[in-house]
Amino acid sequence: MPSKKLCLLFLAVTLNAPVALAQDRIRISIKNEYNTTLDFGVLGKGSREGTDTADGVLEFQAGEYKGIVTAWVSSTQTLAGLGGVGSCGPGTYRNSQQLQVVGRSVSGFNPAVQTVTLNPATSTEYLSLEFVPAPGTALQPPNPDPGQDHVIDCHTMIETEAGTFLPLNDSRWTMEGGGYIVALPSSGTINYTDDTVSAGGAQIGPFKVKKSIWTIQVERLP
């Protein structure tokens, strides 16, 4: 039978042992299906149709959600420039890239560019997501002519101070400081659709967005 001293020693060690805190982690899955046209009048026209996606796990650290996601682009584009200058396609581009993500708390969706039907009870928080190319990764193949636009299969890679992105269609993927907002459930999984431009089209300068539908899943991990 254990002595009284051993029992007291075991109790003291147990009470002073560090408590393992559960990690606050979420899995995000984002899909944007789009169909757009470009019209600069006599200077040129173009069209693009495809799907951009991102999937990965973020962990809560120092007041923000941080992690790495894998982004995929699958797109077909055609461009017709004045006198044939800049004309290309139809060209199909498919590739993936690791992106570093920071999710910062915001008050809600951006009604100017998001249309979401969501029961408020299922969400207690909203995150604005900022994406940058993950350190130590580079798009392949590399640009054979640094300083010039990097064009592959009629798609131009997106050069920013943070690095080179895949030719993602929506500027919120590459916006400095964060652009796309997602809902974060208090528990479990939330699925919803952001269909600001689901049909009929919207004109933004020379760009006409015939369709842009976002399908979102955010899951609280155990």
Task: Write out pLDDT tens, residues 105-116.
Answer: 999 988 888 888
Arithmetic mean of pLDDT over the chain: 84
Number of domains in the chain: 1
Residue 62 lies in a domain: yes
Burial annotation 35-74 (CB, 10 A radius, 16+ → b, else e) = bbbbeeeeebbbbbbbebbbebebeeeeeebebebebbbe
Residue 118 lies in a domain: yes
Residue 211 lies in a domain: yes
- Distance (Å, whole) CA 6 – CA 88: 80
Domain with 119, as residue range(s), is: 22-221
pLDDT the model gives residue 18: 41
Residue 116 lies in a domain: yes
Task: Write out pLDDT tens, residues 48-59.
Answer: 999 999 999 999
Are 167 and 156 contacting, i.e. CB atoms less than 8 angstroms apart?
yes
Are 174 and 184 contacting, i.e. CB atoms less than 8 angstroms apart?
no
Residue 12 lies in a domain: no
Does pLDDT of 154 surpass 80? yes
The 10 Å Cβ neighbour count of residue 148 is 8
Task: Write out pLDDT tens, residues 73-118.
Answer: 999 999 998 666 778 989 999 999 999 999 999 999 888 888 887 7
pLDDT the model gives residue 215: 95
